[in-house]
């Protein structure tokens, strides 16, 4: 069920208006200058309802089209581009413009001057209701509007969005990707092609093409833009590309040219990208433009057989290399498949909410600083041998006291560290750094990497120490990760009458040397060792290694100990299908101290052979502290 924004229920308000015979006037977003601007007053604006602007107003005229939008007086080109992308996907559009047929002006629906829209905000769908009074000058809409004078879905959608953010002027700030997240609940990724041009790395070019191609296949919404000075927004380059205003990417195409056509086309492979310009009829005039030589080399039917075709007026093709050279930013809104009933790759999703605050949870982004681990920490497990993960860190951009959204957001990013296999409490010493995202002053930061089996933490941070703010972390893994925030520093103190924890120890089993099978082993049997770390009833187990007498494990475990005088046991077994064979055990009695110590231990038998030395040794790194919040 959606949440009613500011407690306003569409059905209740409409019913009340109809019973009174009155049109809705929204007290939460009144028709005055406060709803328009936060920095100026415009006395020339009049608020009018659609029925005052045309005889037959409609939400939609002859279907929703991606090319029926016009920008108004505010500089929200990003919003218009996002609406254009949304209009390309009817199911997504209908989620935002909910029950649009029931809201349409016609004889079946009773008109009450109220409309509703759905926006996804940090894990929840919000139902935002508005009245239909719109800002006008000289009888024309001032802000976003459709090309048809009697079509109003885009103007009303913009008003609902402005209400959510406080006023129309706030829509000067924003990005296409973030707006698409609000429209769809997708995951935003922002890419900067300028970095590729600087590095001129063919592998990076190929990786970006693959990423865009896969995103297109998964029906992601992709847009791109050319950065420019504010005064140049809307002007054109010599090649016919508009500056500062977004294009929709509508196809990414790798073509293996038939051998019979390679001589004519002049290439065996083509890397092409198709763009749509929602801003007008002007198009790219370089290679692959409408009248270029490239199209004349073979006929239209042959191009279409290779998948190189047009679907909408205003679309054009260009080579991927030209695309990289001319465009600055690419925004992708991914839709992550979390359905269990799908033949495509599915992901397990963890959504977690927290905040950076003044209670010691805002330590900044310098990994080796003393304050770094005071940031929020989120634990998760990778359960397969190797798994690709995706992480999206999204900070709130509307908070109480902020006059305009997007201007006071923090520079944010995150780090991923590998931790002990049995970590249950917050980390107090730095683990192995596995991934660091970009740090950006944007609403969201996205990152993806591959990780081996084990336990990890994500540490979301602001760039500098001290800033505060709420955020949401979305984590996607190939199988359930058990993602959760670590809030406790250490085990709670026990009852005074029961012996409590006296020491915390972190042990890393590095390797073993010189292991051998017992004399009773069969001649065909191989040594497939696995290791179990045991301490006061808790254990951590590794996978086995095939035919290896000197395995390297590098497995960590942390134990909170009531009886530190007892050794930590490192048990070596040989893997069998039914029951594993015990080989030997090491008894780690050295505590290592707070600085830690590498110790090589002899191996012994057990039970009757408890004092019998067995072949081989085990090397560990052990560190301990009587302060339970030290490790």
Residue numbers annotated as active site: 277
Alpha carbon distance 78, 250 (integer Å): 17
Of 270, 268, 264, the C-alpha closest to 321 is 270
Alpha carbon distance 398, 400 (integer Å): 7
CB 318 within 8 A of CB 290: no
Report the half-sphere exposure of 405 (CA within 13 A, side-chain side). 23
Q: Is 596 helix (H, G, I), strand (E, B) or coil?
A: coil
The alpha carbon of 520 is separated from its chain's Cα centroid by a whole number of angstroms, namely: 55
User: Across-strand partners of 379?
Assistant: 457, 484
Alpha carbon distance 279, 283 (integer Å): 10
Per-residue three-class SS string for 264-296:
HHCCCEEEEEEEECCCCCCCCCCCCCCCCHHHH
Of 153, 168, 148, the C-alpha closest to 47 is 168
Place of tokens 């706030």: 170
Q: Quick one: which H or E segment has residue 95?
A: helix 90-96
Beta strands in 45-147 (DSSP E): 46-48, 69-70, 114-121, 124-131, 134-137, 140-141, 145-146
367: left (phi > 0), else alpha (psi -120 to 50), else beta? alpha
Q: Quick one: which H or E segment has residue 320?
A: helix 320-326
Token pair belonging to 21: 């015979």
Alpha carbon distance 312, 278 (integer Å): 11
The long-range contacts involving 121-125, CB below 8 angstroms and separated by at least 24 positions, are 121/164, 121/182, 122/353, 122/394, 122/396, 122/472, 123/351, 123/353, 123/472, 124/2, 124/3, 125/2, 125/3, 125/185
The residues, any chain, with a CB within 8 Å of residue 56's CB and separated by 6 or more, are 105, 150
Beta strands in 346-465 (DSSP E): 348-356, 377-395, 412-419, 432-436, 444-462
Q: Is 59 helix (H, G, I), strand (E, B) or coil?
A: coil
The residues, any chain, with a CB within 8 Å of residue 556's CB and separated by 6 or more, are 419, 420, 421, 506, 507, 508, 509
Token pair belonging to 339: 């359905």
Alpha carbon distance 541, 531 (integer Å): 6
Beta strands in 514-612 (DSSP E): 529-535, 538-541, 552-561, 568-574, 581-588, 597-604
Per-residue three-class SS string for 137-173:
ECCEECCCEECCCCECHHHHHHHHHHHHHCCCHHHHC
């Amino acid at each position: 069920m959606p949440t009613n924004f500011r407690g306003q229920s569409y059905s209740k308000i409409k019913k009340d208006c109809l019973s009174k015979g009155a049109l809705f006037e929204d007290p939460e977003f009144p028709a005055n200058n406060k709803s328009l601007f936060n920095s100026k007053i415009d006395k020339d604006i009049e608020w009018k309802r659609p029925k005052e602007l045309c005889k037959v107003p409609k939400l939609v005229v002859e279907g929703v089209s991606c090319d029926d939008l016009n920008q108004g007086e505010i500089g929200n080109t990003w919003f218009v581009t996002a609406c254009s992308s949304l209009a390309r996907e009817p199911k997504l559009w209908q989620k935002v413009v909910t029950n649009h047929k029931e809201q349409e002006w016609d004889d079946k629906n009773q008109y009450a001057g109220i409309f509703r829209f759905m926006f996804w905000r940090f894990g929840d769908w919000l139902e935002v209701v508005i009245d239909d009074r719109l800002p006008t000058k000289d009888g024309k809409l001032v802000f976003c509007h459709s090309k048809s004078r009697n079509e109003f879905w885009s103007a009303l959608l913009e008003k609902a969005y402005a209400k959510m953010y406080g006023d129309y002027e706030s829509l000067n700030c924003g990005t296409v990707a973030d707006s698409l997240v609000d429209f769809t609940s997708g995951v935003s990724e922002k890419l900067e092609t300028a970095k590729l041009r600087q590095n001129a790395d063919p592998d990076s070019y190929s990786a970006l093409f693959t990423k865009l191609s896969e995103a297109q296949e998964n029906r992601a919404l992709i847009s791109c833009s050319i950065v420019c000075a504010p005064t140049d927004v809307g002007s054109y380059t010599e090649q016919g590309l508009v500056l500062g205003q977004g294009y929709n990417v509508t196809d990414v195409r790798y073509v293996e040219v038939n051998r019979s056509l390679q001589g004519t086309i002049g290439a065996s492979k083509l890397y092409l990208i198709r763009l749509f310009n929602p801003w007008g009829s002007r198009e790219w005039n370089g290679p692959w433009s409408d009248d270029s030589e490239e199209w004349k080399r073979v006929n239209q039917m042959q191009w279409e057989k290779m998948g190189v075709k047009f679907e909408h007026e205003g679309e054009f093709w260009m080579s991927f290399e030209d695309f990289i050279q001319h465009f600055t930013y690419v925004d992708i809104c991914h839709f992550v498949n979390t359905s269990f009933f799908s033949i495509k790759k599915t992901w397990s999703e963890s959504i977690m909410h927290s905040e950076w605050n003044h209670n010691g949870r805002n330590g900044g982004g310098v990994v080796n600083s003393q304050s770094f681990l005071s940031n929020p920490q989120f634990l998760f497990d990778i359960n397969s041998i190797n798994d690709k993960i995706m992480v999206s860190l999204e900070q709130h951009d509307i908070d109480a006291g902020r006059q305009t959204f997007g201007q006071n957001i923090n520079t944010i990013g995150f780090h991923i560290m590998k931790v002990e296999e049995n970590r249950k409490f917050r980390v107090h010493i730095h683990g192995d750094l596995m991934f660091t995202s970009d740090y950006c002053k944007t609403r969201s930061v996205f990152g993806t990497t591959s990780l081996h089996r084990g336990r990890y933490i994500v540490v979301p941070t602001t760039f500098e120490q001290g800033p505060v703010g709420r955020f949401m972390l979305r984590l996607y893994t190939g199988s359930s990760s058990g993602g959760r925030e670590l809030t406790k520093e250490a085990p709670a103190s026990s009852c005074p009458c029961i012996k409590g924890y006296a020491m915390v120890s972190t042990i890393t089993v590095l390797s073993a040397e010189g292991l051998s099978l017992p004399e009773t082993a069969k001649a065909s049997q191989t040594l497939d060792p696995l290791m179990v770390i045991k301490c006061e009833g808790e254990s951590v187990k590794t996978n086995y290694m095939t035919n290896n007498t000197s395995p390297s494990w590098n497995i960590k475990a942390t134990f909170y100990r009531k009886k530190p005088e007892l050794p930590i046991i490192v048990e070596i077994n040989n893997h069998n299908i039914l029951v594993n064979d015990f080989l030997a055990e090491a008894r780690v009695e050295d505590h290592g101290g707070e600085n830690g110590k590498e110790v090589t231990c002899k191996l012994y038998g057990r039970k009757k052979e408890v004092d019998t030395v067995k072949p081989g040794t085990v090397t560990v790194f052990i560190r301990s502290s009587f302060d339970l919040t030290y490790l």
